[in-house]
Amino acid sequence: MKKSTSNLEFKLFFRNRSAWIGILILLLTGSAGLYFGKTFIANQQAVIEKAAVLQKKNTLDNIKHFNKDIGLIFFHNKFSTANFPDRWAAFANGQRDVNPYLISVTMLGIEGQLYDTDITNPVSMLLGNMDLSFVYLFLFPLVIIAFTYNLISEQQESGIWSLLKSQTNALVNVIWKKFLIRIAAVYAVAFLLLIAAVIFLHLPIDATLAAVAGLIILYLAFWFAVSIFIVSLGRSSSYNASALVAIWVAICIVIPASLNLLLTQKYGVPEALQNVINQREGYHEKWDMPKEVTMKPFFEHYPQLKRYPFPADKSFSWFWYYGMQQMGDDQAIKSRLAVADKLAARQDFTNIAALFFPTIQAQLAVNELAGSDLNAHLEFQQAIRNHHEKIRLHFYPSIFQEKDIASTDIKSVGLKKFIPTKVHDWSRLLSLLIWTLVFTTIAFKNLKGNALVRNTDSK
């Protein structure tokens, strides 16, 4: 008996045209998300491969051109570092469209080169990436709303409700069954798409997959909880639809957008502009100063380089030149750290906001898992600084002694590969779980408290 009503409910749901439309929309947009997300990352990978070849070629060209002058070769020669996309980056493109993933710098001041952007179309960035995470975060909730908003009200409006009430004393049971079928349908589509992603994007089966799956399960559960909560108020279909869409608009657009405005207002980053000016002045002003002004702090910074004789009597030397470049970076340290502090404050602000808004939490979590968030980029910048420093210290002695370029191993310096550290912040899931439980509890209280029965009676 019990099984047969479930079967009937099942048939009832799938006979509904709108159920199929919802599922179809998710599958279609999901496939589009997979396709565009993958193309986007595949493109970046192809560029990184080309960059490795071009770096070799450019180094050889520079050696050929400026053969006699080792200082000049390093003035021109660029060393590239690539932020290698994690496979998950195709799932959630995150900030990888905004932030450069391939940065080529010479041995000159790093602060003047590190922030150069890639070739990008701001309109595309404004409209946003079409990846699978977008489908999960923004479209799944809408389909959940479409599937559940009239769960009870439809029965009431078509008059079946009073019939049901007289025939069964376990109303909650009937609603629960209907609800379960919708949950099952949505989760089936969600898992289908996730499996498709694993196959199509060659995602490894690891902790990240578990974390993403957990995130999706909880995030969708949150939306089901919100829906059932609104439905449990026992209002009309139109009211439910309006209320749920209003909630969606509020927590998917209006509130995060307002918070973002507050964030930019409160934590503006003029220090970044100051940093450029500091670096530029710190370097250029040295041309008009005695060499001592440059070399004293330079040797304090690198006492190990003191043993190379500095040609103080020459009006120009590469030794002095690279020293001046170093001064640009050294004089920008304060502003650089100020920028880092601001960005950290932003991150804290967002993390707190995320506790209250599951949409923000899910967005942050998925980008973090995919290694496509701001932190991954900042880590990338730090890796470039380290690489740059290593190269500087490696080649400084040869340049300062004006050795032949053939005596260096410049040709063997290839493209540096950077892979962001994997972050699995499980605590992000906790706030999702709590919100889900809160809404589910209230909803069940409403349903059990016969609020529905009273509402319909008073009609």
For another protein, the binding residues in 215-254 under the rule CB under 8 A are: 237-238, 241-242, 245, 249, 252-254
Q: What are phi and psi of 16, to 5 degrees?
A: -75, 130
CB of 6 to another protein, least distance (A): 26
Order of strands, sheet of 79-83, starting from the edge strand that comes earlier in the sequence = 102-105, 79-83, 416-418
Q: Residue 229's CB: how many other CB atoms inside 10 A?
A: 22
Q: Are 420 and 380 in contact (CB under 8 A)?
A: yes
CB of 286 to another protein, least distance (A): 11
Q: What are phi and psi of 331, to 5 degrees?
A: -80, -5
Closer residue to another protein, CB minimum distance, 42 or 184: 42
- Retrieve residue 196's tokens: 């498709």
49 makes contact with another protein (CB under 8 A): no
| Part of the chain binding another protein (CB under 8 A), chosen from 9-17, 118-126, 164-172, 175-183 | 118-126
DSSP assignments along 55-95, one per residue: HHHHHHHHHHHTTT-HHHHHHH--EEEEEPPPGGGGT--TT
SS3 417: strand
- Retrieve residue 345's tokens: 């404050």
Q: For residues 308 and 396, what is the distance between their CA atoms, to the nearest angstrom?
A: 10
Q: Binders of another protein among 352-391, rule CB under 8 A?
A: 353, 359-360, 363-364, 367, 373-375
CB of 200 to another protein, least distance (A): 16
134 makes contact with another protein (CB under 8 A): yes
- Retrieve residue 251's tokens: 């927590």
Q: Binders of another protein among 312-331, rule CB under 8 A?
A: 313-316
- Helix H or strand E encompassing 412: none
Closer residue to another protein, CB minimum distance, 47 or 419: 47
Q: Are 181 and 13 in contact (CB under 8 A)?
A: yes
Q: For residue 236, what are the contacts with CB-CB under 8 A and spacing of at least 6?
A: 153, 156, 157
Q: Binders of another protein among 19-48, rule CB under 8 A?
A: 29, 32, 36, 39, 43, 47
**Residue selected from 106, 260, 455, 456 as contacting another protein according to rule CB under 8 A:** 260
CB of 34 to another protein, least distance (A): 12
| Part of the chain binding another protein (CB under 8 A), chosen from 183-191, 220-228, 269-277, 318-326 | 269-277
129 makes contact with another protein (CB under 8 A): yes
Annotate each residue in 271-310 with x if it binds another protein (CB under 8 A) or - if it does not, as one string: -xxx-xx--xx--x--xx----------------------
421 makes contact with another protein (CB under 8 A): no
108 makes contact with another protein (CB under 8 A): no
160 makes contact with another protein (CB under 8 A): no
Closer residue to another protein, CB minimum distance, 107 or 440: 107
128 makes contact with another protein (CB under 8 A): yes
Annotate each residue in 77-96 with x if it binds another protein (CB under 8 A) or - if it does not, as one string: ---x-------------xx-
Q: For residue 384, what are the contacts with CB-CB under 8 A and spacing of at least 6?
A: 81, 103, 105, 110, 114, 416, 418
- Helix H or strand E encompassing 115: none
Closer residue to another protein, CB minimum distance, 50 or 306: 50
CB of 239 to another protein, least distance (A): 9
Amino acid at 137: L
Closer residue to another protein, CB minimum distance, 149 or 224: 149
Of 422, 430, 262, nearest to 358 by C-alpha is 430
CB of 297 to another protein, least distance (A): 21
Closer residue to another protein, CB minimum distance, 206 or 348: 348
Strands 79-83 and 102-105: antiparallel
269 makes contact with another protein (CB under 8 A): yes
What does the CA dihedral 210, 215, 218, 223 come to, rounded to 10 degrees?
A: -150
